[in-house]
Amino acid sequence: MTLSAGCSGSRALAQADLATIDPALDLSMLPEGSLPAPDPWRPYVTELQMGAERCPGVQHDREGEVGFAGLHRPCFGLMPRALAEVVRDIPVADIHLPANVRAKYLRRPQHYLALPGFGRQPDFMVHVEAGGTSFVIRSFEGKVPADTVYFVEGAFDCIEEESFEDGYDELEAGKCPYAFRSHRLYRRHSDGTLHDVTRGLLPRPVIRRSERHKYDAGSPRLDISKLTYAPTLRWRASPPGEDPFPASESRRYDRVVSFDAHFGFAVWNGEDFDLRERVSDSLWPRYKCSLARPDFSCDGALTRGKRYDPFLDYDTEWPAWSKP
């Protein structure tokens, strides 16, 4: 696989160079997170081995029922070092919050979880609180380590004035006072430098010019709500105003799911992302339904839920949730 696509303009420095420049960037106190994934998979084993302060205990305790910032049944503790270093090493021209400020928050305990993936070690997903903003980072381990990529949601889009729209943050330091959160995909090269591979590995679906008027200006957008369950993203397009798509449009294009229009799934396969029109419901599960992190609440979700999504194959045999 070639890695050049989407990497132009990257100015990330090697990790050793950053640590030499400023001790405030040091993240060596964080756990490596390089332990092999449990085989067979068992939830919370990896996080507890890494020294997590707390994880959901027995399945029916109240703490285990509560998610945090899009994470399903996360643990709390120092995050894996490799993910923290990715957030630290993103060029400030891209992420806008200075690296030393990012590192200050990355050294603090955060909510995170481990997930089974394609590599020797688990995938991880972390939510980082960083003053007026936040980061979400998820690793996608490759079948070979060089193919591993990191998905980051952060303050990438600088704006000049305040906003009341979703995804808006006020940054505590740096030259950009305000920003909107958006998504990037990164990969480490063998020399330690970090490269933006978003365009090459996660291309945005194209809406034909003749149909642009049917959707809002930012469409299609990535839906990352299932990353805590499965290695799957979804492209969605919203209507141009506050009103839903008219019923005539829904019938004509057979593409509207709930409020948005479906533009495909992006599923990690251990090397890159497959763009698929349909997936199994195990790759786009209902809320609280996870094969990797069992939750007794899933039974109710499956019982109450309807098979409303025409782009899902409801073919998963969900196990009993009597024990985690």
pLDDT tens digits, one per residue of 211-242: 888 888 878 999 999 999 999 999 998 888 77
Question: What number of CA atoms fall less than 13 Å from residue 151's CA on the CB side?
Answer: 27
Sign, Cα dihedral of 279, 66, 40, 316: negative
Return the domain boundaries, the chain.
Answer: 15-201, 209-313
Banded pLDDT at 301 (limits 50, 70, 90): low
Q: Where are the beta strands (DSSP E) in 165-278?
A: 168-170, 178-188, 194-196, 221-223, 232-237, 256-257, 260-268, 273-276
Does residue 250 carry a pLDDT above 80? no
Of the spans 92-101, 272-281, 297-306, which averages the highest pLDDT?
272-281
**Kind of pairing between the strands at 194-196 and 133-140:** unpaired
Q: What percent of the chain has pLDDT over 90?
A: 48
3-state secondary structure of 183: strand
Banded pLDDT at 13 (limits 50, 70, 90): very low
How confident is the model at residue 4, as a pLDDT?
A: 33
Average pLDDT for the chain: 83
Q: In the 8-state DSSP scheme, what is residue 19? A: H
How confident is the model at residue 7, as a pLDDT?
A: 36
Tell me the pLDDT tens digit for each residue of 21-75. Answer: 578 899 999 999 888 999 999 999 999 999 999 988 644 445 544 567 789 989 9
Contact 119, 141 (CB under 8 A): yes
3-state secondary structure of 250: helix
Does residue 284 carry a pLDDT above 80? yes
Distance of alpha carbon 64 from alpha carbon 202, whole angstroms = 33
How confident is the model at residue 60, as a pLDDT?
A: 45
Tell me the pLDDT tens digit for each residue of 133-180. Answer: 889 999 999 999 999 999 999 888 887 776 666 666 777 777 888 888
Averaged over 269-297, what is the pLDDT?
A: 89
How confident is the model at residue 253, as a pLDDT?
A: 54
Largest CA distance in the chain: 61
Tell me the pLDDT tens digit for each residue of 160-173. Answer: 776 666 666 777 77
Does residue 313 carry a pLDDT above 60? yes
How confident is the model at residue 303, as a pLDDT?
A: 61
Tokens for 256, please give them: 């509207």
